[in-house]
């Protein structure tokens, strides 16, 4: 907690106004589904690689050919995390040939001639920290000696003639730097370089320890993966088996390289490490029913199934038992790989879903929806305002348990110089969520074939989306004003607990996410802190509240055991507010407040720096200006 913030709070509390809140414990609403606190991760920018995954090298499998001209960066060149569009490996001396003979992985393998040295720069290290890795080599001529250097340390390897062999190495960094270099040099002959790797020695099964620690604190209840637009061109079979032999691909949706180092098994390990449930989205863009069903087999099937036998062969005998699956992603968008008319897509959804359910009848399936104008079905695909969700429900309700909705808000159209008044920005979130919920209630009520049944909403992408991209592709920052808006969004989810059952905040790490990393540190942003404090402190049984709250957004809920009253409050004003709570039996003298706040609405956190926005604990029912959070009161 920043000292300046403490001083600010003590001054603000002295002049608090008062708001009366009446709570009726006898009037409750549907229980809040824990999956409201879900998260979404996608193979985009630095969400997986550079965020969750610990590998420090770019293009370690040489998707891009190493060329004499070194020009790796093609976008965001003036940032700390520029976009790679060519090989990040520089030829310092000698000659490199990209050979298509006896390829180790992918389309080609670099052959380093005698006297050749290649390097990759801009690696992050902490002084005294150990880093481990390995290199795959095959001698081709002479008796080569290979030197791998990392900073000031060097390991020398003498590979024997024969096939590719793996050689480990370990280094200790002599300085803290974002400009460390790793080099591979060959002398006395030529070699084929299969692949190589370097990670912090404290990695957890290939994942960054600092990232995992804070994601555990975040407490996300379910994680959606691998997309997002990415999934519509993704072949999940590329991401299983020996990681070093998985082919690198061009990212089908976003550009850059998909290394296939983080696949199905790594995703499941990630979920186990942070204590969350997995949610997989299958490819209904360029994908097909057989491939989707085979993925279900891989995750849930016995060793007697084709997919299940592959899982067992890869060392995972026990089925993963993944029960919730998204059938496609944003298939309503003409930007989506494999986009087709709604009339055709409903057939594909049914075809894919039927195959998945044949592989595992116990699955819960989420259909790809977009509310649009619920009064316009538009099955012919000609209406710009058509309701894709309505067409899906009319043709495919038999093959879905929930229907997906997405929305992003912000300083649209992402103008970095445009800033809405804080009250307007905070209300955006709640307004969009309410529109989705009310639209589905109205639309589904008029659908006779549902026979009064409601298909709940999975809001499996939602967030603010701003510029600039400080943390790589789509890596925008979030400030205290954004945190207040996310809290207001959670309040609206609580109000719509009857129809919204899943919400996965996009995209957790770096890419429009509430958590950011640089090369050596990780930090929770303001929006992530809000999700954390509500997940840890807020109740699950909404109760009726009344009062004139002005600019405040207030909600209340009982804990599952009904022994604690929790009050969520968003105060976007410049004055502290004392809540006068009227609830029978509440022990107000024992109230504790867990508030996310800072000095100014533009305050934001950054990795490796002292927090400007943080969770603070207070006694009583007073909320500071520009603050949001949860008050807990024993009953």
Task: Report the CATH number at residue 102.
Answer: 2.60.120.260
Q: How confident is the model at residue 476 (pLDDT cuts 50, 70, 90)?
A: very high
The answer to whether residue 62 sits within a structural domain is no
Given a cut of 50, whether residue 338 has pLDDT beyond it is yes
Residue 79 inside a domain? The answer is: no
**Residue of 244, 215, 332, 231 lying closest to 284 (CA atoms):** 231
- Domain termination site, one of 148, 174, 200: 200
Q: Are residues 588 and 546 in the same domain?
A: yes
Supply 346's token pair. Answer: 């409903």
Contact 221, 273 (CB under 8 A): no
Do 293 and 350 share a domain, yes or no?
Answer: yes
Looking at the fold, whether 91 and 126 belong to one and the same domain comes out as yes
Q: pLDDT confidence of 374, banded at 50, 70, 90?
A: confident
Instruction: Name residue 595's beta-bridge partners.
Output: 616, 629
> Rounded mean pLDDT of 419-443?
91
| Range 377-397 average pLDDT | 78
Mean pLDDT throughout 391-411? Answer: 94
Q: 12 pLDDT exceeds 50? A: no
- 115 lies in a domain? yes
Q: Report yes or no on 352 lying in a domain.
A: yes
**Residue 272: how many CA atoms within 13 Å on its side-chain side?**
11
Which pLDDT does position 377 carry in this prediction? 61
Residue 174, domain member (yes or no): yes
- Residue 569: CB atoms within 10 Å: 25
Q: How far is CA 502 from CA 228, 278, 547, 558, 579, in A?
A: 16, 13, 29, 20, 30
Residue 381, Cα to own-chain centre: how many angstroms? 31
Structure tokens at 85: 């569009």
Q: pLDDT tens, 228-244?
A: 999 999 999 999 999 99
User: Do residue 485 and residue 603 come from a single domain?
Assistant: no
Q: Supply the pLDDT for residue 495.
A: 98
- Structure confidence by residue, pLDDT tens digits, 596-613: 999 999 999 999 999 999
% pLDDT > 90, the chain: 90
The 10s digit of each residue's pLDDT in 551-565 is 999 999 999 999 999
CB burial of 169-204 (b: ≥16 within 10 Å; e: otherwise) equals bebebeeebeebebbbbbbebbbbbbbbbbbbeebb
Q: Report pLDDT for 602.
A: 94
Strands (E), 201-287: 222-225, 249-250, 257-258, 277-282
Q: Say how far apart CA 101 and CA 109 lie, in whole Å.
A: 8
357 located within any domain: yes
* 492 pLDDT higher than 50: yes
- Residue 186's domain comprises 84-200
- Residue range 452-465: average pLDDT? 96
Residues 288, 176 share a domain: no
Instruction: Mark residue 406 as left, alpha or beta (left: phi above 0; alpha: psi -120 to 50; beta: remaining).
Output: beta
Q: Which tokens belong to 66? A: 């190493």
**Domain harbouring 43, CATH code:** 3.20.20.80
Identify the band that residue 416 occupies on the pLDDT scale cut at 50, 70 and 90: low
Does any domain span residue 611?
A: yes
Does 442 share its domain with 345? yes
Based on the fold, state whether residues 159 and 88 are members of the same structural domain.
Answer: yes
How far out from the chain centre does Cα 6 lie? 32
Mark which of 200, 234, 263 sits at the end of a domain: 200
The DSSP string of 277-343 is EEEEEE--SS--HHHHHHHHHHHH--TTSHHHHHHHHTT--S-----EEEE-S-TT-TTSTT---HH
Confidence tier at 16 by pLDDT (50, 70, 90): confident
What percent of the chain is modeled with pLDDT above 70?
95
Average pLDDT over residues 570-578: 96
In this predicted structure, the answer to whether residue 544 has a pLDDT above a threshold of 90 is yes
For residues 368 and 445, membership in a common domain is answered with yes
Domain boundary among 200, 226, 251: 200
pLDDT band at 379 (very low <50, low <70, confident <90, very high): low
CATH code of residue 578? 2.60.40.1180
Beta bridge partner(s), residue 79: none
When mean pLDDT is compared across 92-106, 185-199, 421-435, 501-515, the lowest value belongs to 421-435
Considering only residues 133 and 8, tell me which one the structure prediction assigns the higher pLDDT.
Answer: 133
Same domain, 302 and 167: no
156 or 6: whose pLDDT is higher?
156
Domain identity same for 352 and 280 = yes
Pair 432, 329 in one domain? yes
Task: Give the number of C-alpha atoms closer than 13 A to the C-alpha of residue 476, restricted to the C-beta side.
Answer: 20
**Is 331 part of a structural domain of the chain?**
yes
pLDDT at 5: 40
**pLDDT beyond 80 at 180:** yes
573 vs 554: CA distance, rounded Å: 14
CB 139 within 8 A of CB 169: no
- What's the token pair of residue 309? 């036998």
- Distance in angstroms (rounded) separating the CA atoms of residues 273 and 213: 9
pLDDT at 415 over 80: no
Residue 382's pLDDT is 54
Judge whether residue 311 has pLDDT over 60: yes
Q: What's the mean per-residue pLDDT of the chain?
A: 94
Say how many domains are in the chain. Answer: 3
The SS3 of residue 407 is strand
In this structure, are 393 and 254 located in the same domain?
yes
The angle formed by the CA atoms of residues 280, 201 and 203, to the nearest 5 degrees, is: 20
Measure CA 537 to chain center.
Answer: 22
């Amino acid at each position: 907690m920043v000292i300046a913030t403490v001083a600010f709070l003590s001054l603000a509390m002295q002049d608090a106004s008062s708001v009366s809140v009446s709570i009726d414990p006898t009037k409750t609403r549907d229980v809040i589904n824990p999956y409201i606190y879900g998260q979404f991760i996608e193979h985009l920018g630095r969400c997986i690689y550079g965020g969750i995954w610990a590998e420090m090298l770019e293009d370690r499998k040489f998707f891009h050919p190493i060329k004499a001209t070194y020009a790796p960066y093609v976008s965001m060149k003036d940032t700390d995390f520029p976009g790679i569009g060519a090989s990040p490996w520089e030829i310092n001396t000698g000659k490199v040939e990209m050979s298509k003979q006896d390829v180790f992985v992918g389309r080609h393998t670099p052959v380093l001639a005698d006297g050749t040295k290649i390097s990759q720069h801009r690696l992050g290290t902490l002084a005294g920290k150990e880093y481990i890795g390995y290199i795959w080599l095959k001698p081709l001529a002479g008796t080569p000696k290979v030197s791998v250097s990392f900073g000031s340390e060097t390991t020398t390897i003498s590979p024997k003639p024969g096939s590719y062999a793996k050689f480990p190495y370990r280094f200790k960094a002599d300085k803290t730097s974002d400009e460390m270099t790793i080099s591979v040099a060959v002398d006395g002959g030529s070699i084929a370089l299969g692949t190589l790797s370097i990670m912090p020695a404290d990695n957890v099964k290939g994942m960054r320890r600092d990232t995992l620690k804070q994601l555990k604190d975040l407490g996300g209840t379910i994680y959606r993966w691998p997309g997002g637009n990415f999934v519509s061109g993704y072949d999940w079979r590329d991401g299983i088996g020996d990681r070093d032999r998985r082919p690198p691909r061009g990212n089908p949706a976003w550009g850059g390289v998909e290394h296939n180092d983080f696949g199905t098994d790594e995703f499941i390990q990630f979920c186990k490490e942070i204590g969350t449930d997995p949610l997989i989205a299958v490819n209904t863009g360029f994908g097909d029913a057989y491939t989707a069903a085979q993925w279900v087999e891989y995750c849930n099937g016995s060793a007697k199934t084709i997919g299940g036998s592959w899982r067992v062969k890869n060392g995972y005998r026990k089925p993963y038992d993944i029960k919730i699956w998204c059938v496609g992603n944003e298939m309503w968008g003409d930007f989506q790989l494999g986009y087709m008319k709604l009339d055709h897509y409903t057939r594909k959804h049914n075809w894919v879903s039927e195959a998945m359910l044949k592989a595992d009848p116990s699955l819960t399936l989420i259909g790809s929806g977009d509310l649009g104008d619920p009064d316009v079905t538009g099955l012919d695909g000609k209406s710009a305002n058509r309701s894709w969700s309505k067409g899906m429900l009319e043709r495919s309700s038999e093959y879905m348990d929930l229907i997906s909705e997405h929305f992003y808000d912000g300083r649209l159209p992402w103008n970095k110089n445009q800033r809405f008044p804080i009250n307007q920005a905070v209300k955006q979130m709640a307004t969009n969520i309410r529109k989705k919920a009310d639209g589905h209630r109205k639309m589904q009520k008029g659908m006779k074939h549902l026979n009064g049944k409601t298909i709940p909403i999975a809001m499996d992408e939602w967030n603010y989306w701003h510029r600039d991209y400080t943390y790589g592709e789509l890596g925008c920052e979030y400030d205290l004003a954004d945190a207040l808006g996310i809290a207001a969004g959670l309040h609206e989810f609580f109000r719509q607990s009857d129809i919204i059952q899943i919400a996965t905040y996009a995209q957790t790490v770096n890419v429009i996410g509430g958590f950011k990393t640089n090369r050596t540190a990780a930090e929770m942003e303001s929006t992530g802190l809000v999700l954390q404090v509500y997940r840890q402190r807020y109740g699950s049984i909404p109760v009726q509240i009344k009062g004139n709250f002005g600019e405040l957004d207030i909600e209340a809920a009982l804990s599952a055991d009904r022994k604690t009253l929790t009050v969520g409050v968003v105060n976007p004003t410049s004055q502290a507010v004392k809540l006068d709570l009227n609830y029978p039996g509440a022990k107000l003298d024992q109230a504790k407040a867990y508030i996310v706040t800072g000095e100014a609405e533009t305050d934001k956190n950054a990795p490796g720096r002292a927090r400007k926005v943080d969770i603070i604990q207070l006694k009583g029912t007073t909320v500071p200006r520009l603050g949001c959070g949860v008050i807990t009161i024993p009953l």
